Structure 1
Amino acid sequence: MKAVTVSANSKALKDLLNRARRRDVILESEDGEQYVLARITNAQSFFIGDTDDFASEVELTRKNKRLMKFLDERGARAKKRKGASLAQVRRRLGLKSSE
């Protein structure tokens, strides 16, 4: 995902951002493609580089010690919790089995 800074001169984009502060916004292009503009809160982000080369991104990600520590901690926390089976989740959500 790429972060883009919105110029203070861009009134239309600033208006959309103000709307997204209150509620998620679905943007629809003239040809019908849809995009979601949503406010991100309490997100922890990690910069791993600005490249389209996947192998390079993997290498940069592995070298990011802060990210690796974060993933290790999250993994350790997840292992302590009891998960729910797919069938249990479907029941909780009132969904039919895929069978």
Structure 2
Amino acid sequence: MNLALARDSVSNELWYIVSDEPTSLQTFREYGERFDIEEEFLDEKSNGFQLEKSLIRSPIALSRLCLVMAITTLFLTAQGQEVVKTGQRRLVDCHNASG
């Protein structure tokens, strides 16, 4: 068992990783990417988009819905970047009171 500890330089959040393989800085990068992907799946499936509740079974219709979700995600990401760039994040993000 390997235990790795690190502090995120952006959020100052402490990370603990337990792995059955040797750990390095690359391990933290990989876990960070995995967490981002997990967040996206959560948004698609049960948080924002409620994909599972659509009950769509047609592959063509499901493909179209996924395209709409991808375009919407791209648009919202661009909007979020603009909000941060213009210093207005504190107006929309209750977790980031400092702006």
Give the TM-score category using the shorter length.
Answer: under 0.3
TM-score, normalised by the number of residues in structure 2: 0.25
Larger Rg: 1
Give TM-score, length-normalised by structure 1.
0.25
Structure (1/2) with the larger helix percentage: 2
